[in-house]
Amino acid sequence: MKTAKLVSIVLVMGLALSILFTACETNQDVKSEDTILPEKFSVDIPASISNSSAGGRLAAGRAEGDTVKGSDIYINLRTFIAVGKAASTLVEQFIAGIRLYKIDRVMSITYVGDDDNRVKNLVVLSNVSFEGVDWDYQLTITDAESENAADGGKALQIFWNKSSKVKGIAIIKPYNCDRITNANAKDAVFRIDYSEFGEHGYDAEMEVRIAGLPLANPLKDPYSINSLHMFAGKKGDVVDVYGNSNHPNAVLLSGTTGFDWAFVASGSDPDNIGVAEVGLPPSTLDSDDRQVLLKEYSIKNVLTSEITAMWPGIDQNALAAYLSTTSAPGYFNANGFVSGGTSPGAKWDVLAKRLDALSPYNPKATGELTISFK
């Protein structure tokens, strides 16, 4: 079966990646032993389930023979996870950069941003409270000229405790970090919650939230991402990931507007292999039921329904063969997609068993996600 266009779901992630990689960098990387700043603030995610190549197209005529390419099905999943990973990596890079200022106590300094040449104020406080939790330190950076604005000109806030294990929260508004590069993303904000205290049974874990990404002109790009909510936990050599990305402008063949990319994945660091399961529920669906998000709205079910609605008389055996690579779960190695529904070997089987304990977030809540500074 070949068709010019089955289901057009183009997910352009270039803007999100650009914001994350350029948000608040100081272009400095100064090591200092005399600092109270945390050394670690992210979970390393295997490349098998994380890839920063933006874009991708789901079942849009790029078929090989009579089968949808699995690489097309899952390219967006790996990109979403890469965006979450980039957000946490950026926090670490920024912390490394401001070591130049020897953050070793309660203090305040003023400097000029390397990217937008605007004056920034940096203030470190101790013994603060945020969201009902006491923190040893709070670091806030603001854009000096916009401190009277509604958002207080806040570019970055980090809350953390000084201990052998790191626990903290980082919130960044890219526009206030660099108003030149991020001029078209004035409302974008992201937040990283990082912990090494094992609240969910992991050696290290992080929760990534991204909200307010600008939606493109629907006539030019109706498939852009608006928000992302992702969790990653590392136990030994294995990393579990689950979450959602919300696409309110995307349109399926049936005319339905808005869908959520719900996903769970598990990857092995030394083997660089991974397993993932993906669902496409409506972006307004108010449910966190794993059975609904990943089974009822599995990629295979959604595409089967959409294609059948468009071609009611289609041969179901031919359709099943065409969508064979969409069977869950999907299996990956360092080069990307390996197979769908059929395990390549015992190492992948171990990871696949972990997926049953993972569940995406609520699509409606992800679409309505907001992030606030203190």
pLDDT (0 to 100) of residue 185: 87
State the angle between helix axes of 70-97 and 14-22 in degrees (0 to 180), rounded to the nearest 10. 20
Assess contact for 274 and 265: CB atoms under 8 A: yes
Helix (H, G, I), strand (E, B) or coil at 374: coil
**How far is residue 145's CA from residue 143's CA, in Å, rounded to a whole number?**
6
The fraction of the chain above a pLDDT of 70, given in percent, is 84
Mean pLDDT of 359-367: 97
Let me know: does 299 contact 278? Beta carbons within 8 Å.
Answer: yes
How is residue 362 written in tokens? 């609520």
User: pLDDT tier at 13 (50, 70, 90 boundaries)?
Assistant: very low
Query: If we measure between CA atoms, which residue out of 89, 143, 153, 134 comes closest to residue 116?
Result: 143
- Of 109-123, 248-262, 328-342, the poorest mean pLDDT is in 248-262
CB 215 within 8 A of CB 240: no
Q: Give the pLDDT confidence of 195-239 residue by residue, as tens digits.
A: 999 999 999 999 999 999 887 665 555 556 789 999 999 999 999
Angle, CA 197 vertex, CA 191 and CA 203 arms, to 5° = 90
User: What is the end-to-end Cα distance of the chain in Å, rounded?
Assistant: 55
Residue pair 154/128 in contact (Cβ under 8 Å)? The answer is no
Q: Give 57-94 pLDDT, tens digit per residue.
A: 333 333 344 567 777 778 778 888 888 888 888 888 87
Q: How far apart are CA 354 and CA 233, in angstroms?
A: 12
Q: Position 318: which residue type?
A: A
CB 325 within 8 A of CB 339: yes
Listed ranges 89-103, 143-157, 318-332; the one with the highest mean pLDDT: 143-157
pLDDT digits (tens, 9 = 90+) for 128-165: 999 999 999 999 999 999 999 999 999 999 999 988 89
The pLDDT score that the predictor gives to residue 34 is 66
pLDDT at 4: 29
Higher-confidence residue of 290 and 5: namely 290
Q: How far does CA 301 lie from the centroid of its chain? A: 24
Taking residues 178-185, what's their average pLDDT?
89
Cβ-contact 212, 189 below 8 angstroms: yes
The helix (H) or strand (E) run that includes residue 304 is helix 299-310
